[in-house]
Amino acid sequence: MKPLLNKTTKPFIIYVLIVLIISIPVYYFVVDFIWQEELDEHNTIVAEKTSYEFNKAHIGDDEVEQNIALWNKIQPGTNIEKISANQIRPDSVFTVEKYKPFSADKKIERYRCLRKVVYIKNVPYLFTIETNIEETEGTVMIIGLITGFFFILIVTGLFILNRRLSRTIWKPFRDTLEKLQKFNLNNQDKIDFLKTDTKEFEDLNDSLRKLIDHSVSVYATQKEFTENASHELQTPLAILKNKLDILLQSKDLTEKQYEIAEEMNRALTRSSRINKNLLLLAKIENNQFENSDMQLDELLMQCFEAIQEHFLQKNISVTSTIHSNVRAFGNLALTEVLINNLLINAIRHTTNSGTIKIELNNKSFKVCNSGTQALNSDLLFKRFSRFSSDHNGSGLGLAIVKEICRFQHWEIEYAFENDFHIFSVKF
In degrees rounded to 5, what are phi and psi of residue 384?
65, 20
Q: What is the pLDDT of residue 2?
A: 63
Q: How far apart are CA 269 and CA 127, in angstroms?
A: 121
Which alpha helices (DSSP H) does 249-380 contain, by range?
255-285, 296-306, 308-313, 332-348
Q: How far apart are CA 274 and CA 267, in angstroms?
A: 10
List, for residues 147-166, the tens digit of each pLDDT value: 778 878 887 887 787 777 77
List, for residues 9-19, the tens digit of each pLDDT value: 777 778 877 88
Domain ranges within the chain, ordered by starting residue: 22-152, 200-285, 292-426
Contact status, residue 358 vs residue 304, Cβ threshold 8 Å? yes
Contact status, residue 355 vs residue 370, Cβ threshold 8 Å? yes
Q: Just give the CATH number of 22-152.
A: 3.30.450
Q: How far apart are CA 176 and CA 260, in angstroms?
A: 62
Q: How far apart are CA 374 and CA 377, in angstroms?
A: 8
CATH of 200-285, one of 1.10.10, 1.10.287, 1.10.3470, 1.20.58: 1.20.58
The domain covering 292-426 belongs, at the CATH homologous superfamily level, to Histidine kinase-like ATPase, C-terminal domain (3.30.565.10)
Strand pairing report for 355-360 and 317-322: parallel
In degrees rounded to 5, what are phi and psi of residue 396?
-120, 0
143-148, Cβ contacts within 8 angstroms, sequence gap of 24 or more: 143/24, 143/27, 143/31, 144/24, 144/27, 147/20, 147/23, 147/24, 147/27, 148/20
Contact status, residue 403 vs residue 329, Cβ threshold 8 Å? no
Q: What is the pLDDT of residue 31?
A: 78
CA 252 to chain CA centroid, nearest Å:
74
In degrees rounded to 5, what are phi and psi of residue 169?
-65, -40
Q: How far apart are CA 281 and CA 399, in angstroms?
A: 9
Q: How far apart are CA 276 and CA 264, in angstroms?
A: 18
Give pLDDT tens digits along the chain (427 positions): 666 666 667 777 788 778 878 877 787 788 778 888 888 998 999 999 989 988 888 888 888 888 888 888 888 788 999 998 888 889 999 988 877 665 666 677 788 899 999 999 889 999 999 888 766 566 667 777 887 788 788 878 877 877 777 777 778 888 888 888 888 776 666 788 888 888 888 888 888 888 888 888 877 777 777 667 666 777 777 788 888 888 878 877 888 888 888 888 888 887 777 778 877 887 887 777 888 899 999 999 999 888 888 888 889 999 999 999 999 999 999 999 999 999 998 998 888 899 999 999 999 999 999 988 888 877 788 877 665 555 555 678 888 999 999 999 999 999 999 889 999 999 8
Model pTM above 0.75: no
